[in-house]
A and B are shown apart, each in its own frame.
Chain A
Amino acid sequence: MLDSPLETLKSAVNENAWITDISEMQAYITEWRNTFDGIPLIVLFPESANQVSEIVKICASNKIAIIPQGGNTGLCGGAIPDKSGSQVIISLKKLNKIKSISRNNFSIEVEAGCILEDIHKKVSNYSLVFPIDVSSSGSCQIGGNISTNAGGTNVLKYGTTRSQVLGLEVVLPNGDIWNGMTNLIKDNSGYDLKQLFIGAEGTLGIITSATLKLYPCPGNIVTAFLGFDEISSVQYLLFEMRKKYGNNLETFELISERAINLVKKNISNINHPFDTDYSWYILLEVSKLTFIECNDQLMSFVKSNHISNAVITKNLTEKNALWKIRDSISAAQKYEGGSFKHDISVPPSKVSALIIELEEKILRILPTSRIVAFGHVGDGNIHFNVSQPKNMTLSNFEKFRKIISKTVYDCIMDFNGSICAEHGVGMLKKADLLHYKSNIEINLMRSIKQTIDPMNIMNPGKII
């Protein structure tokens, strides 16, 4: 008698490297914000690209849908199965070896399941940096970062994850293993295939390894925290800092007063540097600059009335305390009821104009809503979140979801921006993507998907 697909799948991985009992699956079937959950047939933990390939072949011949999963920190439902009980989650967490570091090439070869923070730690031993950094770096995997083309706080200087990928190894939807693990900076031999899989959210194949760029440590960095009241100042500050410090401008993160107040209220051990409140704050980092030079620069901003106050950190403990504020914003909002999240981008020069217009429009629709705006404004990316009013039930608030998100996205279109800046599409924004992208774009995406995954088994129902 032939084994059932389930039994064949189990035999494709090491002993006990699978879960079928739903009570043990929780970490793999619900998303961080509890916005999505699903019921899979099985969760599999392969330990090599060959095992991944084996699983995919079994799925392909049985037309079983595959959900690739990294650290499950994604925010758009991309790594979550449907509720049919028929889809297979392939967790990459056991493919977690750092294969090699090439100090002369400034590159590293890693398996897809490496935790981002482990990569940071490893390369720091060589005085090198891998620049992709997100608040979830203790749990997310490099394969997930590549598949979502993650952004984070260093994009201004280094670009998104896409800019860090030199080569990939990918298991294709038919089970073939494509070895594209090159270490080349220039390679124009035809279409640049790796680009297809970067940001594809697992819809075109499963990334099993990657070659990534490394950079020398930027050395001493000064970290400052600026307080000011007029959002329009952000434009002046960003322009001046970029002009003057170019690539040494490492970080330029905007935080609103409400975001900080929620962090102070809901997160313990927060050390707010100012005695007075300001409407806006910027977390600023510049390399190759001294404390005194930074001070002089910031004083000139005070003189021109673009900032009201600033602190410059004197040690890493203070720097970490400021980063803790920035990194806690998402978590702090969880305590405040429902929140409509918008991960949007515009050209960097338009950030303040966009925020002003959005605030006005949203408050006209729901004056009691609490807007929490923050983000990587140095690269034009804003997290524009609208939190539940204090005196409104969640179900009543939910009635506003459609109109508020439509207002935000329509406004973004007027600014020539993007409705998915760094978190991707997943299930969350699938309908919006269809609505806001042109037919030509949607058709091109569909034909790429059709060509690479004709049976639609690779993360179906995501993106398009």
Chain B
Amino acid sequence: MRKIIVGLKRVIDYNVRVRVRPDGSGVETDGVKMSINPFDEIALEEALRIKEQGKADEIIVLSIGASESQQQLRTGLAMGADRAVLIETSENLDPLSITKVFQKIISQENPNLVILGKQAIDNDNNQTGQMLAALLEWPQATFASKISLNDTKAEVIREVDAGLETIEINLPAIITVDLRLNEPRYVKLPDIMKAKKKPLDVIAFGDLDITPNDAIKILNTEPPEQRQKGIMVDNVPALIKELENKGLI
């Protein structure tokens, strides 16, 4: 059976104005809207399209995090994933530990393809895909903006600084996706209904026999310096005058 594993991380919604806790211990999440990391949603959408083209049989969504992440997994199932796995932990694991969890699940499930977001928008680490490829010794294609598959290979267009790069990799492989790959679908009623019946396994992180990596400690979180408020000018002469006053022209 041709399987795809997709990672789904629960993060603060992209549209929320993130606030730092007054004591610097992190960012405020109380009563804040949480969603699937947008890059992960794009990864899942791509997996669904691959399956719809008849090039995969099963899509598994995997999340690592607190119990609430089940909400995001259910959403993933409603989008069309076949089953979900939550590795439950209240700890804030670093990318290497997360990667080891993926490695473990991959060794059990034997997927042909793993699609991840290029990064999660909370910590912006951009590491999991790359480290996973290294640990598994699999080929990788990062920052994908187009993916074409056949039975043994994937052709991937990557968004790189210089423009677009097209590469071919053997399967199984790790692909991390960029923003322009696709536009994720809305979830419609019958699909949400179906999702309720799909399996969602919850496994305690402690049962996986992985020692969390403690090489990184977050010491303090600070908000960025406030940008000065812009001003509105009524017309071009006023704009020129303002710029002159500020010595900019």
Point out residues on A near B: beta carbons under 8 Å.
24, 27, 124-125, 127, 217, 219-220, 271, 273-274, 290-292, 295, 298-299, 302, 309-318, 320
Contacts and interface: CB of A to CB of B under 8 A. Distances in A.
A316 B12 CA distance: 10
Interface string B215-247: 000000000000000000011000000000000
Contact of A309 (B35, B79, B189, B235): B189
B197 interface: no
A317 B14 CA distance: 8
Contacts of A299: 189, 193
Given A127-B31, A291-B74, A291-B75, A317 B15 contact: yes
Interface of B: 13-17, 19, 31, 33, 35-36, 38, 41, 71, 74-75, 78-79, 183, 186-189, 192-193, 196, 234-235
Contacts of B188: 273-274, 309-311
24 contacts: A24-B235, A27-B234, A124-B17, A271-B183, A273-B188, A291-B192, A292-B74, A292-B192, A295-B196, A299-B189, A299-B193, A302-B189, A309-B188, A309-B189, A310-B189, A312-B192, A313-B186, A314-B36, A314-B75, A315-B14, A315-B15, A315-B35, A315-B36, A316-B14
B13 A316 contact: yes
A217 B35 CA distance: 18
A320 B74 contact: no
Given A291-B74, A292-B196, A314-B187, 20 more contacts: A220-B31, A271-B183, A274-B188, A291-B75, A295-B196, A298-B189, A309-B188, A310-B189, A311-B187, A311-B188, A312-B189, A314-B35, A314-B36, A315-B38, A316-B14, A316-B33, A316-B35, A317-B14, A318-B186, A320-B15
A311 B13 CA distance: 19
The 6 closest A-B pairs by CB, nearest first: A316-B15, A315-B35, A311-B186, A295-B192, A273-B186, A316-B13
Contacts of B17: 124
B84 to A, nearest CB: 14
B187 A24 contact: no
B228 to A, nearest CB: 15
A101 B94 CA distance: 40
Given A291-B74, A292-B74, A315-B14, A24 B35 contact: no
Contacts of A312: 187, 189, 192
Contact of B38 (A127, A219, A317): A317
A292 B75 CA distance: 9
A320 B14 CA distance: 12
B10 to A, nearest CB: 11
A203 B196 CA distance: 58
A274 B16 CA distance: 26
A400 to B, nearest CB: 39
A219 B33 CA distance: 8
A223 to B, nearest CB: 11
Contacts of B235: 24
A125 B18 CA distance: 10
Given A291-B192, A295-B189, A315 B41 contact: yes
A290 B72 CA distance: 12
Interface centre among B16, B17, B19, B186 (most CB of A within 10 A): B186
Contacts of B33: 220, 315-316
A177 B13 CA distance: 46
B186 A291 contact: no
B186 A295 contact: no
Contacts of A127: 31
B179 to A, nearest CB: 12
A317 B185 CA distance: 12
A454 B19 CA distance: 52
A295 B194 CA distance: 11
